[in-house]
Structure 1
Amino acid sequence: MRRLTLAFLLTASTALATELPVRSVTLSSAGLAQVERAGEVAADASVTFRAPIDDVDDLLRSLIVVDTAGTVEGLRLPARDLAGEAFRGLPLRPEDFESRTRLLAALRGQEAEAGGARGRIADAAETDRGLRLSLVTPTGIATVLLREGDEVKLADTALAARVARAAEALAAARSADERRIEIRLRADRARQVAVLYVAGAPLWKPSYRLLVPPMGAAPAATPPQARLQGWAVVENASGSDWDAVRLALVSGEAAAFRQNIYQPITVARPEMPVRVAGAVHVTADTGGRPLPPPAPAPMALGRMAEMSAAAPQMAARARSPEAPAGGAAPAQPATAATAEASAGRVAFVLAEPVTIRSGETANVPFLDIRLPAERVWWIQDLAARHPLQAVRIRNASPHTLPDGLATVYGAEGPEAGVFLGDAEIRAMPAGDGRILAFARDRDVQYTQSGSSADRVTRIALRRGFVSVDMARTEETAVAIDPRGARGMLVIDVPRRPGATPRFPIVSEGDFGLRHEVTLEGSTQTIRLPFERAVRQDTPLWDSGLGEPILLRWQQFDIEQNLRRLPGGPGTLERLQEILARVGPDVPGRADLAAVVEAMQDLRRLLDDARIKARAYRSADQALARARQAAEDRTGPEQQEARRRLNAASREADQAGAAADQAWEAWQRAVVALLQRGS
């Protein structure tokens, strides 16, 4: 397209502006980056830089300007909807900038000056010789031919400025994912100015390289050590190059929020209608009518019910020790990072400047230390067959080590430089220890079995009950064969609610209870007993039978309910079994022996009552037969039948009295038994 200089599009700001470069970046494990831009700013110059549009909300809420010799007037940036705001109220649309003819056509009616003529724009058209512009003048229509480089100048300077801003916004909208930030400052001399803000950033991801000592390493003058190297994966998604910046990597659990403050927000308001005069309604007169008859007396109406209708500064510093060289050990980092620790937070500050271009990913070392270490076997699942290979390390540094994945290599002997496995390191405070499993040892096997045994510890009599307190031992036995290997075995045993472990515990945690034992090369059995208190109550009387003194044998089937009665089968045998297992020094044993003896007496009394109850029932049946015979006989036979009836009656009375006496003797013995104890 041929170029035409439009004067109203050439308006540009003449204010001084300084582009501040990035000087330092602090990446947080909360998914944020603290960015510091700094540089020298001339007197009365503003500060500018570009930021991704997604970072503007965070920038607006966190910006800090450090200017010791000047004052801050404020921050300016284009609207979020650049084109929408820039074209609001203009006779133009973004598509009108596609060609000069279309742009001038959209400005029809505006007063302009071009080619020595002045008038209102009527029409514009491209020709072989140039742009033909028609202007309406006070005396007619003037047509001017504009060649390349000629100007069209709007008479309305305010409109010209707005059109210029629309063109600027249109250009900026082509990179709609960024915004130009301008901070206006006022000062009488040049000075250093810094700008700090917090914005969203990809997480920096730590990973470790762990060199471990061999299994069964004998303690020397110094205990075995592992070498831990930390590397961080860092991504620059800030939209600006990081050229020789100071980089810090922060690990902690800071609260992080987002707030949409760059987007214009309007508050909904209730609409108030415009008050107008009410319309006048007139009812036409239809003339007179006869009077209505009188209404009847009002009837009473029922009443109707009413209805109602919720960032500290760094404190301590500790420099990681240099790792010694030797063999196939990893190379040293260029310069060790500095760890700055504060409450719940640690920052690894790289000593050398880092350069990472926008959109690049880097992997930088931030840690190289030696830690006390010991190779161990680790059993997490007692039902498995082989233990895990693991290393126990202790964080001897003065700061917390953040979460990360460790690639484990051997450090000595046949394992030197050999990949052994991967292990997860969870956040490890200073002085704390972790066991890191990286493989399974299939050369070592183990099996486990369980058993349970009860031991009576106390016997107590309560009214109607014998309470037996027992110590129940629930044991898991682990038989393990290390096949000649020696070393430490760590076993994590699940807790058992209500049970007390009866084996040494070195620590407790989410893993349960941790037990350790040294394996000497041969097969051995490890016992892991738990003990819990168990109480067993044996009732001496079935409460469903009511009060024993009120129980009548005549109205009760003794044989059918024999197991429910004191002295019947079942209870006596259970108490005898318990007594046989009770040691002579167990408290309450003598009381239990007395109850067993009383139950034996009750059995004799109950058996006697059962025999006599059966005798009564036999006598009662004989009495019934004699009574029937007496009713069926006549004459001399009737006299003999009556004699036999009287004899049967006496026998039934005697048998009934004997059964009553035997039952009452059993009842008295039951009552005496139930009154024992507290």
Structure 2
Amino acid sequence: MRSLTASALFVSALTLTAQTAKTPSAVIKSAASKPPSSEKSNALPVTRIALYKNGVGFFEHSGSVTGNQTVTIDFTTAQLNDVLQSLTAIDLNGGRITGAGYNSATPLGQQLKSLPLALSEDPSATDLYSAIRGAHVEVAGSGSAFSGRILNIEIRSVPGPTENSPAAEKRFLTVISDSGAIRSLELTPSTQVRLLDSSLHSDLSRYLELIAANRSEGLRHLSLRDNGTGTRQLRVSYISEVPIWKSTYRILLTDSPSGTTPSTATLQGWAVVDNTVGTDWNNVQLSLIAGSPQSFIQPLSQPIYSRRPDIPIAQDAQLTPQTHESSIESAKAAPQMAGVAGMSGMGAGSGVGSGNGFALKSRNPQRISSGVMGGIGNTNETVAVAAEPMVAYESAAADSITPNTTTSAYDDYFEYKLSDPVTIRKNESALVPILQSKLPVERVSLWSPTQPRPLRALWITNSSNLTLDRGSFSIVENGNFGGEGLLDPIHPSERRLLSYAADQAIRVTTDYSHDTQRILSFSIVKGVLRQQTSEVSEVEYIVHNSAPDPRTVIVEQPKRSGWKLDSDPQPAETTPDAYRFRVATAAGESVRLHIGQRRDFELHFRLVNTTDEQLTLILRNANPTVLQQLEPVFAAKRALASLDNQIKARQADINQITEDQKRIRENLSTLKGSSEERSLAKRYTDELNQQEDKLAALRKELDTLHQQRDAAQQDLDNKIESLNIGQIRS
């Protein structure tokens, strides 16, 4: 941390009063030569701007030139790299662009290297004194002045006035006089250090001039020289980094006098545009383009001094979770135009529901008496007060703005082109109307088992010929705020659900959920049993409406990969991830919705590896004649299993005798030559002889059993290979 003392000392050191010669300016002059006095030079105004969703803007300056003329365009240093990378200049009447230049500058770090002082761009007081070690100075403070040459600067930790107070850092400058006297002087706010070396003071002055000049070089002046005769039209275009323009919408709804639900709504689209490029946009032709052309920045304006160029690391657009998907049918019908990576979201609400039970099949939505689940949810009531007739809010709001916008699509972009010129001053923003259209809408409630909080939503169809860009929207119902949300791009003729508020009057519970499997058919060919199986997943929901008015509820059922819909109610629409079922509910009514999904799959079993019990379980519903055809296979498998058991038993006997012989031989090795031990040794020897005879017989039986097993295995393989049962349905 730099102390106040060091900062004050640094300022005093840089304002010394020694006599110096005038130093040259550190500002680098423009690379473009000044035009002759006989030529005209004027600024070329911006006339057309196209803003893209990836944060770049296309700028076009245009104007007339006469004879040989130089025009100028001002940029910030931040814009210059984009300008050098994309600048295009065209004389529409036969003139020639003979050159372009701008005021360049050597990087500050490179300029500082040319100074004899080893100072960085942001030095401390300690850095300064370290850089001027050996300089001839005069130090004046509380005592008499002392002159000499700087040896070093030292930072010392001095104990505080009490034991518990922290230590303080103090700086001491060591100076050696011409007579050899050495003094360490504390640098305090009252200490003054004066340079006695005029050349060193000159170097410090140059350093400060470079720092000041670097701060003032934020504006660049681009000069283009256009040679020709007569008056001609000149156009100059380039791209520049700009803030991303944002879309925001208003959906206006008004109930009809009869109180029926509106079938249309007024959609107003606005764009938020920010001008941060440093110059005014006066009467420019503005286009807002929903597209993201590839763009990057290279430091072309920076002189390169034998080093590799700075190439930024490529970054992918960050995608956020999707909003409600459009249906597969509308996606096929809608023209495919590029969307823009950006925001997405969903509404929020409250409510819970759960249920379980046994299979209760219901193929169509069924009505339940209104008293079954009454009182669930909340209802808001509005008391009407007599008032003078007034103009419908939707009509009044729609008549208040008239967007004058033309649209066009090219390549993968969609353009909103404002017909009237726009003026946006520098460092200001504007809210620009880009569209207004009547669109068909349907008020619904949305529920999904993955998002078990019912939401109020609009089912909106884009009947205009415009692509609605990604952005936020606000709902205004009868002049009151109804909610807000986010939408993804909606193409012409595409239908989309837009949720905007919680619906506390709707409750959806699961009455039962059940999965079953059924064997459809099977066949046996070359020892492989192929089983065709069907699996059905069923769920039944109870949708209850506790509101005082009828409501349409959209139930989203997630699609399972590899499954097909298998129920009588058909979905109103299908998205890549869900089925959407329409359930109409009257006030206080409960309705059942049964949904089934099915998948068919095939299982393979090798008969040689399948037990009789497994085969019997698989074929439990098969025709008895099938089991009769399989009986020879079952008999062969039983015979093979019997031989395996006999072989296992004989091998167990051999292992037991081998263990006994090992024990007897160990006992024999411990016997001595006494008469009793000789008698015991004879008994052990007789026992070993008997066991050897038994082992020989067992090994002979084992060899015979192995031969019988090989024959039984071959018999089983032949019977399985010859077995051929065509497809039989269960």
Equivalent residues in 2 for 1:498-537, closer than 5 Å: 498-503=562-567, 504-505=570-571, 507-510=573-576, 512-521=577-586, 522-536=589-603
Q: 2:518 aligned with 1:439, yes or no?
A: no
User: Structure 2-normalised TM-score?
Assistant: 0.53
Query: 2: CA distance between counterparts of 1:187 and 1:537?
Result: 85
Q: Tell me the residue number matched to 1:471.
A: 534
**What letter corresponds to residue 498 of structure 1 in structure 2?**
G
Matched, 1:494 2:558: yes
1:541 deviation in Å? Answer: 5.1
- Is residue 553–residue 585 contact of structure 2 (8 Å, CA) maintained in 1? no
**Residues 396 and 205 (structure 1 numbering): CA distance in 2 closer, same or farther, change over 3 Å?**
same
Structure 1 residue 400 corresponds to structure 2 residue 467:
yes
| Preserved CA contact (<8 Å) 1:17 1:48 | yes
How far residue 176 of structure 1 moved from its aligned partner, in angstroms, is 1.7
Amino acid at match of 1:49: I
Aligned residues: 454
* 1:537 CA drift (Å): 5.3
Q: CA deviation at 1:496?
A: 1.9
Aligned to 1:309: none
- Retained in 2: the 8 A contact 1:43–1:190? yes
Matched residue type, 2:493: G
> For residue 77 of structure 1, what is the amino acid of its counterpart?
Y
1:481 corresponds in structure 2 to 544
Q: Does the 8 Å CA contact 1:458/1:469 hold for their aligned counterparts?
A: yes
On the 8 A contact 1:475/1:529 being kept in 2, the answer is: yes
Pair 579,198 (structure 1): closer, same or farther in 2 beyond 3 Å: same
CA deviation after TM superposition for structure 1 residue 188, in Å:
2.8
- Pairing of 1:50-449 with structure 2 (within 5 A): 50-69=74-93, 70-81=95-106, 175-212=216-253, 224-266=263-305, 326=394, 329=397, 332-379=400-447, 381-410=448-477, 416-448=478-510, 449=512
Q: Is residue 18–residue 41 contact of structure 1 (8 Å, CA) maintained in 2?
A: no
Partners of 2:43 and 2:716 in 1: CA distance: 103
Quote the residue 1:461 is aligned against. Answer: 524
Aligned 8 A contact 2:270 2:431 in 1: yes
Contact 1:488 1:516 in 2 (8 A): no
Would you say the 8 A contact 1:57–1:262 is kept in 2?
yes
AA matched with 1:516: F
Quote the residue 2:313 is aligned against.
none
TM-superposed deviation, 1:490: 2.9
Partners of 2:260 and 2:558 in 1: CA distance: 31
2:618 maps to 1:594: no
Secondary structure at the counterpart of residue 82 of structure 2: helix
Identity of aligned residues (%): 24
User: Contact 2:253 / 2:266 at 8 angstroms: preserved in 1?
Assistant: yes
Counterpart of 1:66, as a letter, is I
| 1:601-651 CA distance string (max 9 Å, x none) | 999x99xx99xx9xxx9xxxxxxxxxxxxxxxxxxxxxxxxxxxxxxxxxx
1:585 aligned partner: none
Deviation at 1:47, TM superposition (A): 0.2
Deviating more after overlay: 443-452 vs 9-18: 9-18
Between the two structures, name the one with larger relative contact order (CA 8 Å, sep ≥ 6).
2
Give the direction of change, closer, same or farther, for the CA distance of 1:667–1:73 in structure 2 (3 Å limit): closer
Segments of 5+ residues of structure 2 without an aligned counterpart are 1-21, 117-208, 309-336, 338-390, 651-708, 726-730
Match of 1:35 among 59, 62, 69: 59
Is the CA contact 2:564–2:598 (under 8 Å) kept in the aligned structure 1?
yes
Which letter does structure 2 place at the counterpart of 1:408?
I
- SS of the residue corresponding to residue 579 of structure 1 reads coil
Letter in 2 for 1:237: T
Given that 1:212 and 1:391 are in contact with CA atoms closer than 8 Å, whether structure 2 keeps it comes out as no
Q: 1:90 to 1:219 in 2, by over 3 A?
A: same
**For the Cα contact (< 8 Å) 2:566–2:595, is it kept in 1?**
yes
Counterpart of 1:279 in structure 2 is none
Name which of 408, 432, 451 aligns with 2:514.
451
Structure 2: distance between partners of 1:218 and 1:394: 22
**Partner residue of 2:4?**
none
RMSD: 4.7
The whole-number CA distance in structure 2 between the counterparts of 1:43 and 1:82 is 37
Q: Tell me if structure 1 keeps the 8 A contact 2:539–2:594.
A: yes
What does 1:600-639 align with in structure 2 at a 5 Å threshold? none
Q: Is the 8 A contact 1:490 1:516 kept in 2?
A: yes
Contact 1:212 1:373 in 2 (8 A): no
Displacement of 1:328 in angstroms is 5.7
Does the 8 Å CA contact 1:461/1:677 hold for their aligned counterparts? Answer: yes
TM superposition shift of 1:344: 2.1
Post-superposition offset of 1:499: 2.1
SS at match of 1:329: helix
CA contact (8 A) 2:555 2:583 kept: no
Task: Give 1 or 2 for the bigger CA radius of gyration.
Answer: 1
Distance 2:629 2:45 in 1: 95
CA deviations 1:28-57 (Å, max 9, x no partner) are 112111222233334322101211111112
How far is 1:202 from its partner? 0.9
Which whole-Å deviations, capped at 9, do the CAs of 1:236-267 have from their partners, x for residues lacking one?
A: 11111112222221111322222222122355
TM-score, scaled to structure 1: 0.57
Q: Secondary structure at the match of 1:56?
A: helix
Task: Tell me how far 1:205 sits from its aligned partner.
Answer: 0.9
Structure 2 contact 534–601 (Cα < 8 Å) conserved: yes
Structure 2 letter corresponding to 1:242: W
CA distance in 2, matches of 1:579, 1:90: 98
Tell me how far apart the structure 2 counterparts of residues 395 and 420 of structure 1 sit (CA, whole Å). Answer: 21
**Structure 1, unpaired ranges of 5+:** 1-5, 92-167, 270-315, 317-322, 411-415, 544-563, 583-588, 618-662
SS of residue paired to 1:387: strand
- Give the drift of 1:524: 2.2
The answer on whether the counterparts of 1:395 and 1:428 sit within 8 Å (CA) in structure 2 is yes
1:354–1:476 distance in 2 versus 1, CA, 3 Å: same
Give the counterpart letter for 2:599 in structure 1: R
Aligned AA (2:594): R
How many angstroms apart in 2 are the aligned matches of 1:535 and 1:90?
83
Letter in 2 for 1:333: I
SS in 2 for 1:30: coil
Residues 485-526 of structure 1: per-residue CA shift (max 9 Å, x gap): 54443333333223222243555445x132322314232222
1:369–1:502: structure 2 CA closer, same or farther, 3 Å change rule? same
Which residue identity is paired with 1:234?
V
Q: Deviations over 1:379-423 (max 9, x none)?
A: 2x315544221112122222322111111222xxxxx12222222
CA contact (8 A) 1:206 1:231 kept: yes
Q: Once the 2 structures are TM-superposed, how far is the Cα of residue 534 of structure 1 from its aligned partner?
A: 3.8
Q: Does 1:677 align with 2:724?
A: yes
Question: What is the CA distance between 1:191 and its match in structure 2?
Answer: 3.7
Contact 1:58–1:258 (8 Å) recurs in 2 = yes
Supply the distance in 1 between the matched residues of 2:626 and 2:115 (Cα, whole angstroms): 106
